[in-house]
Structures are given as C-alpha cells and as structure tokens.
C-alpha cells in the first residue's frame, strides 16, 4: 500500500489553526493564551490526521490504536482550550485539568495499543516494574533538582501535593506506555514512538504549569510550546514513508540497531544510576532540600523493586540454565541414540567431554580420549582443511561473536586401525566461546552405498565390466587429451548368441556373457578399457595404440579368445565366434563418430559372414547411409505403389507345358530400375519385407486365379523370407489371400531356402507344417547348398526340391557338379518329390536334365521373367522352339 499525503481534512485543520494562531498573536494575547491556542491547533491537526489515516488502514488493531490517539488528542485539546477560563477559579485542580488528564490517559492507551505484541503474564509484570522504576527515578531527579526547592518555597504540603498530582499522573501514564513501544517492535515504532513523545511533552508542560501555579509566575515559553510541537509531529508520522514500510508485511528491514535496542532495554537501570548520582551529588554538596522521608520512601521502593527484579532474573536465569543443561543432555542422548558421537573440545582440538557412543562406534573408551587432541585421530590428508576451518571459526585464535557452525567431512581412525569416513558439525558452545560442540556421525555404510550406486551406474550388472555410459565418457576424456590420434576403438559382436538365449534361456545366456567377458578381459592390455556395450556386443578403447597393427592384433586376439574353445553352459558345450570392427581416431573425429565407425566396421564384418576383423573405411559409413536412405525409399515406395510383379515360368521338361509361374518383385524408382539384390536385403533388415511380401502374395494369387478361371491349369510359386515366416499372423495371411482370390491351396507353392531350416528350425518347421495342413505345397529352394541335412525332409512334408543354379551351371563341363545334380534328381524321385532345375541357360544343360529324368525346369533358356500379359503367349509355345533359341 502506497501512502499519500492527507488532503481536505488535514489541510483544512492546518489552515484554520494557523488563522487562529495568527489572530491570537495579533490580538496581543499572553504567552499562556497563545500556547493554549497553539496546543489546541496542534492537537486538532493530530486528531484529524490520525482519524483520516485510521480509515485507510487495513490492520484493525493499528486502526483502533490510532483512533484512541485521535480521541485522546481531541479530549486533551478540550482541556487545554478551557484551562485559561478555569485558571481564574480558586480551586487548585480545575475541571479543565481533569479533562486534560482523561485525554492524557487516552493517549497512553493508544500508545500501548500501537505495540505489535502486547505484553502478557510475567512480561506485563516486568513492564509495570520497569515503568515504576523509571517514574520513580525521574521523580527523584525532579525532586532533587526542582520539586524539593519548590516545596520548600510553597510551605503548604496539601496544596503542593494537589497541584503536583496532574504532572505525576501524566508521568505515570508516560512511563506505563513506554515499555510497550520502546522495545524492538517494528510496526510500533513510527506512530507509537511519536505518541510517547507527545506524552513526555504533555508531562513536561504539566510540570511547568504546576510549578508556575505554585509560584504565581507565568509559565515559560518552552513549556508552553513543547506539547504543540509534539502533536504536530504525531500528525505527520502516519503519512511518512517509514510508517508505510513498517505496516508493509513484506518489508523485513530492522527498525533499530542492536546497540539502540540494548540501550532501550537498559533504560530503567540508566535512570536509576542517574538518580543515584544526582542524590549523591546534592548530599555531598550539602544542597539537598525538602523533607528526606519523600526521597527515602521513593528510593526504598526503587531498591525494593530492583531487588525483586534481580531475584526474578536470577530465578529465570537458573531456570534457563537448567533448561539449557536439560536440552544439552537430551541433544546428546538423541545424537547418541542415532549413532552419533557428541564431544566438547577447544579450538586446539583438545577433547574436554565426550559421549559414551564413541566406544560403540569407534571402539575407544571415553577416558582414553579426554585431554587428547582430536587431530591425532584424523587422516593426515584431511587434517589441514579441518585446522583451517577451526581457525576461521576462532578468527585465528580470537573467538568471534555470534553463532557459528562448520560442516566437516573427514576420515577418523577407529581403534582397530581402519579409517572411517565421517560427517561432523562443529558449533560454538554457549557455555564459553573457547569451546566447540562437535557431533560426529560414521557414514561408512552411506559411503559404501554411494560407491555401490556409482559402480552400478557405470558398470554392467551381468559381466561386471564398465557399461556403455562409462565407455562413452571415457572415450570423450581420452580424445580430449593431446595426442589422442593414437587412440582406437574395437567393437565385438558374438555371432549366433541369439540362438543361445532361445535354446538355453536368458539366465544361461547371461552366464555365457560372463564367461565371454572374462576371456576378453584376459586378452586386452591392462591400460585398455573393456566394456559391455549392450546385448552380446563388447567394446574396447585403446587409449594409446603404438600403431594400427597393434589394434588389429588385439582384435584378432579377441576373435581367438571367443572361438578358441566352446563355452560350457547348461551342461552343454556351445561354440561361438565373433565379428570385430576396428576404428582409429583422427584429429577431427569426435568420440561419438569414433564409436559409430567401429560399430559400422563390426556390422560389415558380420554381414560378410564372420568371424573376421574389419577396419573402418569411409565407404562403410556411406554404405550404411545408403541403406538407411534405401529403407526410407522402400517405405515410400510401398505407399506410392512403385512395385510391380513379373512372372518366370516353370515348364514340364517332357511336354514343354508351363506348369507354374514364380512371382518376382520388381521396383521402378521413378524411371530407374532397382535390382532385387539391392533392396531385398534392406527390406529384410528393416522388416518392410513383411508388408511387401503380403502385397506380392495377394496380387499374384489374384492374377493366377484369373488364369485358372480361363481353363489354364497353372500353379504359383512364391519365395518366403525369415521375417515373413516369423510374422505373428503369417498363416492367417496366407489363408486370407487364398480365400479372397479363390485360388486353390494346392495351386500355391511356398519356397524356403535350406538356411532357414537351420536357424530357428523348430519354429520354422511348426509354421510350415501349419501351411501344409492348409493344403499349400512346400518347396526347398537352392537345394544342395549344404545347410540342411536330409533329416529335414523327414521332419517336414516337402512336395518339391529346386536344384541350386550353381549345380545346373556346371552340367556338361564339370563332372562333379553333373554327378551331384544326377544324385539330387535320383534322390527326389526316390522320395516321391517333384524336382525343379533352376538356372537353365544353355541347350546342353536342358538335354542333360531331360536325360537325368528331371521333370521341371526354369531359366533364361526357358523364359525370362515377364509381365502378366506375356505369360499367355508363352504358354502356347512349344518347348522345341524355345530350345532352338527362339
């Protein structure tokens, strides 16, 4: 809230007051009349100002206090206003004096209400005692200096007492209100202190007036004008910035300094000392006048009050000391119950007291440590820091004022000689500035837990090796050093590890990883960093390879370490190999790029069949980027229907009749043709082969079903990929495509290569058996390449085998291949299987296959892959015309 200057009410009061004061001066009135007019004006201005400010005040208690002050000002001005008229009466105390006293009492009430925290209980009694001591001390000083001589001149004790009653009551009101506002109560200071000044001014003015009445003199000018000046100050204070800050709850600036606060608290004793000094000075000078009993009674009462106060203070001090001792014992018991050790020592570290907990925590008996320096038990590396902290607390040997706390972390020697990490808090003790209260806690368990958490954060839980986060951070640190170009990163992947988890379970797989980690750790150098990157991948950081050959040699050692002997897992031997990639640091290569390069090289080694070591070259990263771009283009091609299907006929070699077609996918990226070998691999890797194969299946089934509807007895062959077979709803997809197209299941032949029967054999055979139960025919493509044994022909009901083109290409020129081809044909006949020869490109191959008894064939000599519209004419062409080269 921003305070503004009063406007209409306060301005009007000031103007009217000034006019009245000028009129009194111009009329030649006496100083008493002029002073009365000034007092009335000032009190009126104060009353208007306080009422106006109270209306705008949100704090109800402060508003009530200001209204009391305004009401007291009005009552006081009424008394002052009628006093000149009442002074002519023969009474020592007039009606005007009573009204003035009532106004003064109201001012005292308003002053007391302006305090933020009113006193209660013992605090109220203490304030009343201080008020009495102040009032009595001021009375003694006034008696010795002024009132005693005046009493001696007056002669009439009754008149003197009645005349002096008004200023004495004002003095009592002033001293009673003083303790409420003089202590450091922030919001009471601006207005409350001004109101207290008004009470003091009124008391002084009343004393001057009473002395003038007793002597018959005219009051002095200073006494006449003191009260009006105080009232004007009270009128201005509610509108000051200091009052606005005091009433602002967000303003936390202190109102007075500590020195001022101490002086205010000691004011009763200061007045007592002054009064005692004045009395002694008068007594020693022989100038003390007036009746001694008055001084004796008042002085005795002051001494009595002070004795009572001293007794109460001593009792409170004793009670506080007992509470402090009790608090110390409770604090020590609480600390020791939590396992902390509590001790008292000086700034030289000498132990003065120590709790019993030191024996259970560190193994020392408390008597062993008393009188000895704690520095003897602190680790030498931690000692300088602790000594410097204690010197700072003691200000180089001189204890400093105010509270002080120091946090200390160090290692403490236990009785068994071990160093225990501890956390301590040293605080200045309240018994004396030369003592420290130290609370020490053994944090060995917490330190061990922190170390364990840090270890788990940067280490792998399965192998115990550093993990990926640690390896990346370590690589950044190494490359940031000068001469980092000699560093290298080696990436290793365990070939075939996925089959381990599938066959013996993940727990056994983790056990195998632990064995592999031990072998790899034995193969690397002591200053190299070996980490588990994730899954079955490991990484090695060579911080300083002497040359490129050093890193390559290490990579080859890692390959041998993995494949040297089988791993013993779940009571079986499992043989694994490793694919390794190596990348070397360069001046402009970052840690992330260096790690990525090693990973790319490792992927290259794995793509080449492993186990082998590949060194990163720039073209590898380019190949990876191209594969990623190709994968993105594949996804876009699926959405934009950029794929087409071509059909390669399969003919009966005996009758030249087309018996089936094999559906082959083609990709036209714009006007450019993309060979299948370039995009089928990325499609398999990214999983896009699944939706692509589903599209081929549905389109080809629709086309072949349409041909069969035209009385052409023709079948359809499709190649299956591993991802397609393992797709969650693969069998349902085939069944749905057959149902939608109307193609009989027996007209569909699905081809798998032998390698697919080896990897994940059980799951693959299960899926293919489900297809066989639908009536779909199965064929083994590229038969004879050696991946599968003949046992698979017994486990899986196969209808057809297709001889790999590598065998057909050697017919007539390679006796071994010719013999193997003849054997495969005979085997197929013996098993009752249809045998299809692939890759027929020369007439002599065709003649030999006929002579061997091979029933069907396909190849460029028979027909090249063609669009659907070319299949119709080919079906009417005789085999003899094709064999002649047409």
Q: Work out the mean pLDDT of the chain and round it to a whole number.
A: 78
Give exposure, 692-729, as e/b (b: 16+ Cβ within 10 Å).
bbbebbbbbbebbbebbeeeeebbbbbbbbbbbbebee
pLDDT at 431 > cutoff 90: no
Tally of CB atoms within 10 A around 513: 22
Cβ distance 562 to 578 under 8 Å? yes
Q: Percent of the chain scored above 70 by pLDDT?
A: 77
**815: which residues sit within 8 A by CB, 6+ positions away?**
none
Highest mean pLDDT among 7-21, 211-225, 657-671: 657-671
- Band (225; pLDDT cuts 50, 70, 90): low
> What average pLDDT does range 545-561 have in this prediction?
86
CA distance linking residue 341 with residue 438, whole number of Å:
8
Length of the chain measured in residues: 886
Q: Contact 658/651 with Cβ under 8 angstroms? A: yes
Query: Which of the listed ranges 241-255, 257-271, 721-735 does the model predict with the highest average pLDDT?
Result: 721-735
pLDDT exceeds 90 at position 6: no
User: Does 223 have pLDDT greater than 70?
Assistant: no
Residue 136, pLDDT above cutoff 70: yes
What tokens does 875 get? Answer: 């079906």
Residue entry with tokens 């950081």: 541
- Specify the pLDDT at position 455: 77
409 Cβ neighbours under 8 A, 6+ residues apart: 382, 421, 422, 423, 424
Q: Over the range 65-84, which residues count as b (16 or more CB within 10 Å of their CB) and which as e?
A: bbbbbbbbbbbbbbbbbbbb
Of the listed ranges 138-152, 528-542, 656-670, 713-727, the one predicted with least confidence: 138-152
pLDDT tops 90 at residue 88: no
pLDDT category, 360, cuts 50, 70, 90? confident
Mean pLDDT is lowest, of 42-56, 705-719, 871-885, for 871-885
Q: Which pLDDT score, from 0 to 100, does residue 489 have?
A: 92
Mean pLDDT along residues 456-464: 85
Determine if the pTM surpasses 0.75: no
Residue 24 has pLDDT above 80, yes or no: no
For residue 777, give every residue at least 6 positions away whose Cβ sits within 8 Å of its Cβ, in sequence order, or none.
Answer: 715, 746, 748, 749, 750, 799, 800
In the predicted model, what is the mean pLDDT of residues 119-136? 73
The label of the residue with tokens 């006034």 reads 142
What integer pLDDT is reported at residue 236 of this predicted model? 79
Mean pLDDT of 844-852: 90
pLDDT value at residue 390: 80
pLDDT given for residue 742 in this prediction: 92
Q: Looking at 97-111, 275-289, 735-749, 821-835, which range is the least confident one?
A: 275-289
């Amino acid at each position: 809230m921003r305070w503004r200057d009063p406007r209409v009410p306060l301005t009007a009061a000031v103007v009217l007051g000034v006019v009245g004061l000028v009129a009194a001066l111009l009329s030649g009135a006496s100083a008493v009349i002029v002073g009365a007019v000034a007092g009335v004006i000032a009190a009126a201005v104060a009353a208007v100002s306080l009422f106006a400010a109270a209306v705008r005040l949100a704090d109800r208690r402060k508003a009530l206090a200001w209204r009391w002050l305004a009401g007291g000002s009005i009552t006081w001005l009424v008394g002052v206003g009628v006093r000149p008229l009442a002074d002519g009466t023969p009474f020592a105390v007039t009606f005007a004096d009573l009204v003035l006293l009532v106004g003064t009492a109201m001012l005292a009430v308003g002053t007391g209400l302006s305090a933020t925290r009113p006193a209660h209980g013992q605090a109220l009694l203490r304030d009343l005692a201080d008020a009495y001591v102040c009032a009595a001390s001021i009375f003694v000083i006034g008696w010795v200096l002024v009132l005693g001589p005046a009493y001696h001149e007056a002669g009439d004790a009754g008149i003197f007492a009645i005349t002096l009653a008004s200023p004495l009551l004002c003095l009592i009101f002033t001293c009673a209100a003083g303790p409420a506002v003089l202590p450091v109560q922030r919001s009471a200071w601006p207005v409350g202190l001004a109101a207290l000044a008004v009470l003091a001014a009124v008391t002084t003015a009343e004393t001057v007036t009473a002395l003038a009445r007793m002597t018959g003199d005219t009051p002095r000018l200073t006494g006449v004008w003191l009260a009006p000046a105080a009232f004007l100050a009270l009128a201005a204070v509610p509108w000051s910035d200091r009052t606005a800050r005091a009433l602002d709850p967000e303003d936390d600036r202190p109102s007075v300094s500590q020195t001022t606060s101490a002086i205010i608290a000691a004011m009763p004793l200061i007045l007592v000392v002054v009064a005692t000094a004045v009395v002694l000075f008068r007594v020693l000078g022989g100038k003390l006048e007036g009746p001694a009993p008055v001084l004796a009674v008042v002085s005795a009462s002051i001494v009595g009050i002070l004795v009572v106060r001293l007794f109460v203070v001593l009792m409170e001090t004793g009670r506080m000391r007992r509470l402090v001792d009790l608090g110390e014992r409770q604090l020590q018991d609480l600390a020791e119950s939590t396992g902390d050790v509590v001790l008292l020592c000086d700034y030289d570290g000498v132990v003065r007291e120590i709790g019993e907990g030191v024996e259970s925590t560190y193994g020392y008996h408390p008597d062993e440590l008393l009188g000895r320096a704690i520095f003897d038990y602190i680790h030498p590396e931690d000692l300088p820091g602790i000594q410097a902290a204690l010197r700072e607390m003691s200000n180089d040997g001189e204890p400093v004022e105010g509270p002080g706390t120091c946090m200390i972390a160090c290692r403490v020697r236990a009785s068994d000689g071990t160093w225990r990490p501890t956390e301590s808090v040293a605080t200045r003790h309240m018994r004396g500035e030369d003592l420290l209260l130290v609370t020490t806690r053994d944090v060995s368990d917490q330190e061990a837990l922190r170390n364990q958490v840090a270890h788990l954060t940067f280490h792998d839980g399965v192998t115990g090796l550093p993990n990926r986060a640690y390896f990346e951070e370590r690589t950044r640190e190494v490359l940031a050093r000068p001469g980092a170009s000699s560093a290298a990163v080696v990436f290793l992947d365990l070939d075939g590890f996925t089959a381990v988890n599938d066959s013996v379970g993940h727990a056994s797989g983790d056990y195998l990883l632990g064995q592999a980690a031990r072998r790899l750790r034995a193969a690397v150098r002591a200053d190299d960093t070996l980490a588990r990157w994730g899954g079955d991948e490991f990484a090695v950081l060579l911080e300083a390879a002497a040359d490129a050959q050093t890193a390559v040699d290490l990579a080859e050692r890692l390959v041998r370490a993995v494949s040297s002997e089988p791993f013993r897992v779940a009571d079986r031997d499992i043989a694994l190999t490793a694919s390794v990639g190596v990348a070397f640091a360069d001046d402009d290569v970052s840690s992330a790029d260096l790690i990525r390069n090693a990973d790319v090289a490792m992927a290259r080694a794995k793509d080449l069949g492993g186990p082998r070591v590949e060194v990163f070259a720039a073209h590898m990263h380019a190949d990876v980027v191209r594969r990623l771009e190709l994968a993105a283009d594949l996804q876009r091609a699926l959405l934009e229907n950029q794929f087409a299907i071509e059909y390669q006929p399969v003919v009966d070699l005996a009758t030249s009749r087309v018996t089936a077609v094999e559906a082959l996918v083609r990709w036209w990226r714009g006007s450019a043709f993309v060979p299948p070998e370039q995009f089928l691999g990325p499609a398999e890797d990214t999983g896009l082969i699944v939706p692509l194969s589903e599209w081929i299946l549905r389109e080809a089934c629709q086309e072949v079903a349409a041909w069969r509807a035209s009385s052409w007895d023709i079948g359809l062959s499709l190649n299956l990929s591993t991802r397609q077979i393992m797709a969650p709803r693969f069998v349902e997809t085939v069944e749905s495509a057959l149902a939608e197209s109307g193609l009989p299941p027996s007209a569909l032949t699905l081809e798998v290569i032998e390698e697919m029967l080896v990897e994940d054999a059980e799951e693959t055979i299960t899926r293919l058996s489900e297809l066989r139960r639908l009536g779909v025919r199965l064929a083994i493509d590229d038969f004879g390449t050696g991946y599968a044994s003949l046992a698979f022909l017994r486990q899986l009901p196969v209808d057809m085998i297709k001889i790999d083109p590598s065998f057909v290409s050697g017919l007539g020129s390679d006796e071994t291949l010719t013999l193997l081809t003849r054997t495969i044909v005979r085997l197929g006949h013996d098993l009752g299987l249809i045998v299809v020869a692939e890759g027929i490109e020369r007439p002599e191959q065709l003649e030999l296959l006929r002579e061997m008894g091979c029933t069907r064939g396909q190849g460029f000599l028979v027909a090249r892959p063609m669009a659907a519209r070319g299949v119709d004419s080919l079906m009417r062409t005789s085999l003899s015309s094709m064999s002649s080269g047409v």
